[in-house]
Structure 1
């Protein structure tokens, strides 16, 4: 019985030791990176909802980005994202944005690092409904979560989910990213 009580302490100690070794093993020099991504997004805007308040239009977006990694934990990133044209009958929207973000990585293994992302996007949007149209722009905060996988010594793949709140439009995007570290 006494040995069973010590087992959780031993497992916790081994877990902390292996996590510390993973951080030490994954420590790498600071450097720049660049990448591109393709994503699928869902848009929630009053102009694009059907009679049951469900989305009728989902689209593909692309992004080009560059950043600076300060070791395995912290990175800053700038990106250009093109959400393309989204249309539903007479309603049409074009959206692009330039963003800056901070990424916090949690390197678990040599090849896997979950991360969180927080940033600001400056966006330009053009909307039309039949013959009526308007353009606007602004800046809004966005956030995301993802997992980075090391494919080679300088090549990483990221799977990412991001949530943008562009004025009165919510955008949820899942993407796959490929990046090269210099």
Structure 2
């Protein structure tokens, strides 16, 4: 937690050195689907993220994704992921762009039933593809497909704010 606070403070103090509207924050909601060895997990999850557009076609982004929760064979399960990635942007017009994402994330899963608890975590590469439509210079809508783990898919839609 101390590292996150220090990072946020450093970004705030460094902000005047960067151009306006290169920084952004956002949130999305989406459907998580996990299919592992015939066991299927379906849930609605949310994420929060922030980023900086380093160049017209490149941005860096970090965020937290709640993958949701479900009960599978009597076991309550839930998942989450901390993510850091680079986005490669392809503007198709002044308002619409496509993007590809390549990064690393730490996926954590928890399961509990009467008499036992289990927790797993794994750090691995992930990718995503999506699009963004700018409603204005400061506000945009995003839709995206992500693959945070080999057996996990996330389809999401959200909004971002540039400042």
Per the TM superposition, whether the score is higher than 0.5 is yes
**Cα distance between partner residues in 2 of 1:86 and 1:171:** 14
CA contact (8 A) 2:21 2:138 kept: no
Kindly indicate which of the two structures has a greater share of residues assigned to strand: 2
The TM-score normalised by the length of structure 2 is 0.81
> Residue 30 and residue 147 in structure 1: after superposition, are their counterparts in 2 closer, same or farther (change >3 A)?
same
Which runs of no fewer than 5 residues in structure 1 stay unpaired? Answer: 1-27, 50-54
Superposition pairs for residues 8-87 of structure 1, below 5 Å? Answer: 31-46=22-37, 49=39, 55=40, 57-87=41-71
**Cα distance between partner residues in 2 of 1:45 and 1:154:** 40
RMSD (Å), alpha carbons:
2.0
Matched, 1:144 2:125: no
From 147, 159, 162, the counterpart of 1:178: 159
**Cα distance between partner residues in 2 of 1:150 and 1:33:** 13
**Cα distance between partner residues in 2 of 1:107 and 1:143:** 19
CA contact (8 A) 1:30 1:71 kept: no
**Cα distance between partner residues in 2 of 1:97 and 1:159:** 18
* 1:131 to partner: Cα distance: 3.4
From 113, 131, 135, the counterpart of 2:97: 113
Following TM superposition, where does structure 1 have runs of at least 4 consecutive aligned residues deviating by more than 3 angstroms?
128-132
Question: Larger Rg: 1 or 2?
Answer: 1
Size of the alignment, in residue pairs?
145
From 69, 74, 84, the counterpart of 1:100: 84
* 1:70 to partner: Cα distance: 2.0
The TM-score normalised by the length of structure 1 is 0.73
